[in-house]
Amino acid sequence: MGNSEDTNKNKDEVEKEENKNVLQSTRTVIKRALDRLGYPQEVFELMKEPLRMLTVRIPIRMDDGSIHIFTGFRAQHNDAVGPTKGGVRFHPDVSETEVKALSIWMSLKAGIVDLPYGGGKGGIICDPREMSFPELERLSRGYVRAISQIVGPTKDIPAPDVFTNSQIMAWMMDEYSRIKEFDSPGFITGKPIVLGGSHGRESATAKGVTICIREAAKKKGINLEGARIVIQGFGNAGSFLAKFMHDTGAKVIAISDVYGGLHDPDGLDIDYLLDRRDSFGTVTKLFKDTISNSELLELDCDILVPAAIENQITKENVQKIKAEIIVEAANGPTTIEATEHLNERGVLLVPDVLASAGGVTVSYFEWVQNNQGYYWTEEEVEERLEKVMVSAFDNVYKVATSRKVDMRLAAYMVGVRKMAEASRFRGWI
Ligand code: NAD
């Protein structure tokens, strides 16, 4: 018992440290971006923390009759541009620091793809894998009741994130509509289509990553037909991406989940793997011949896509990374030191705040459709997403080349500028 408690304590400490580092490194890059753009220190002071951070305690009756008090958070980073927007994460490792960092990233993403939003984020410390459907419903509704005063279609619009899905969004929308006594589809995005969800939302992040891969490959003169791609993570982002890359004629030579990776230099059978994966994005347990996640990152390939968790490419393994292009579908997979090293080596790294912005873009489309009460076809959504992502990629690439900075710093420069200008015009700074 003593040992397992020690191990848990160490794990908690490591996670706290990692979250702190993620927030710290986001702030470091924001500071660099603001300095490059010539903004004074007070702009950084405004942007280094969310404007609002609500912590809530949610009592839920569990199926066995006991009461469990869950802790949840909602961070609203900056609403100078417009209402804040960002997902709600259900995960045992959710923390205040992580939610803060994620809300800042959402502000940057909104700025990069030029949406009329600021960034927000929410989370509940829980393990949905160990909860029943009715318990999850009670928790989702309880969370909305707890945060209802600070959210709303023109205030702060939640969405799905890790371990939350369209069913959870539907419960949350229903709860909010009951509290406000009018139907409010624009309160939340990522809903089922029959409740005002948008076509193309589920695969939007992967579509956006696919567009970034295609644009990056053009810059590097890599032909995607036959290009070797490695994807870490086989959840929502990773699995749709594997399918899209496979469909473009690229060779997905490795994928992984939390338990390990599968590798075949001749290309994996993606349709088969998609068929066998479970709803948590796991598939490798069905196979004997697996590799570790760290081996997967170091494989010989043309394009590497981390699509799982933070802090995967660090100063410890960056020397062994062989890809020419890295496109970050996950949030925060590469540390600042590793980014600098890759940049020096001429690796083209498309940062998370740009590469994974397809999800929030189609969430915005969903909100627009809800507000106007008129719905678009899948083709219309895809066409608009294509335009937004290509223009965002070009814009960031141009800033990177003209200002001689890496793509991450360039993306942050684009992302903070709109927020800083809106805050200035409002007279906040
Ligand atoms: P998901 O929960 O659907 O899938 C996560 C995948 O990563 C699963 O295959 C899981 O097994 C794997 N994984 C978990 N822990 C791992 C570990 N320690 N090592 C290796 N693999 C591990 O999540 P998702 O929605 O696909 O999101 C993945 C990443 O992309 C996250 O960083 C998320 O914040 C980011 N992202 C997702 C979206 C979206 O719309 N889904 C949007 C923007 C950013």
Instruction: Supply the pLDDT for residue 162.
Output: 87
Q: Ligand 1 in contact with 356 (CB < 6 A)? A: yes
Mutation pick for ligand 1 pocket among 127, 331, 334 (CB with most ligand atoms within 8 Å): 331
14: pLDDT strictly greater than 80? no
Specify whether domain 204-356 bears CATH 3.40.50.720.
Answer: yes
**308 CA to centre of ligand 1 in angstroms:** 4
Using a 6 Å cutoff on CB, does residue 262 contact ligand 1? Answer: no
Cβ(363) – ligand 1 distance below 6 Å: no
In this structure, the chain runs to a length of 429
Asked if pLDDT for residue 2 goes beyond 50, the answer is no
The string of pLDDT tens digits covering residues 224-279 is 999 999 999 999 899 999 999 999 999 999 999 999 999 999 999 999 999 999 88
259: left (phi over 0), alpha (psi -120 to 50) or beta: alpha
In the predicted model, is pLDDT for residue 4 greater than 70?
A: no
Point out the ligand 1 atom lying closest to the alpha carbon of residue 237: 26
Q: Is 166 in the pocket of ligand 1 (CB under 6 A)?
A: no
| Number of neighbours of residue 349 by Cβ within 10 angstroms | 22
Where are the CATH 3.40.50.720 domain residues in the chain? Answer: 204-356
Identify which of 167, 168, 197, 201 has the alpha carbon closest to the alpha carbon of residue 185: 197
Has residue 10 got a pLDDT over 70?
no
Q: What CATH number should be reported for the domain whose range is 49-182? A: 3.40.50.10860
Whether 84 and 92 have beta carbons less than 8 Å apart is answered as: no
Segment 136-153 shows an average pLDDT of: 98
In the predicted model, is pLDDT for residue 9 greater than 60? Answer: no
For 257, the enclosing helix (H) or strand (E) is strand 251-257
Burial category of 99 from C-beta neighbours within 10 Å (exposed 0-12, middle 13-18, buried 19 and up): buried
Write down the residue that tokens 């927007």 correspond to: 85
Chain mean pLDDT for the chain: 94
Residue 1 reports pLDDT greater than 50: no
From the CB of 105, is ligand 1 less than 6 Å away? no
- Whether 240 and 387 have beta carbons less than 8 Å apart is answered as no
174, pLDDT greater than 70: yes
Model confidence band, residue 322 (pLDDT cutoffs 50, 70, 90): very high
Which pLDDT score, from 0 to 100, does residue 21 have?
78
Q: What is the pLDDT of residues 15-42, one digit of tens each?
A: 556 666 789 989 999 999 999 999 999 9
**pTM (2 decimals)?**
0.93
What tokens were used for 329? 């579908």
pLDDT tens, residue by residue, 365-415: 999 999 999 999 999 999 999 999 999 999 999 999 999 999 999 999 999
Instruction: Locate CATH 3.40.50.10860 in the chain.
Output: 49-182
| The pLDDT value given to residue 95 | 95
Specify the pLDDT at position 20.
66
Known catalytic residues are: 121
Using pLDDT thresholds of 50, 70 and 90, give the confidence band for residue 72: very high
Q: Which carries the bigger pLDDT value, residue 160 or residue 14?
A: 160
Confidence of residue 11 (pLDDT cuts 50, 70, 90): low
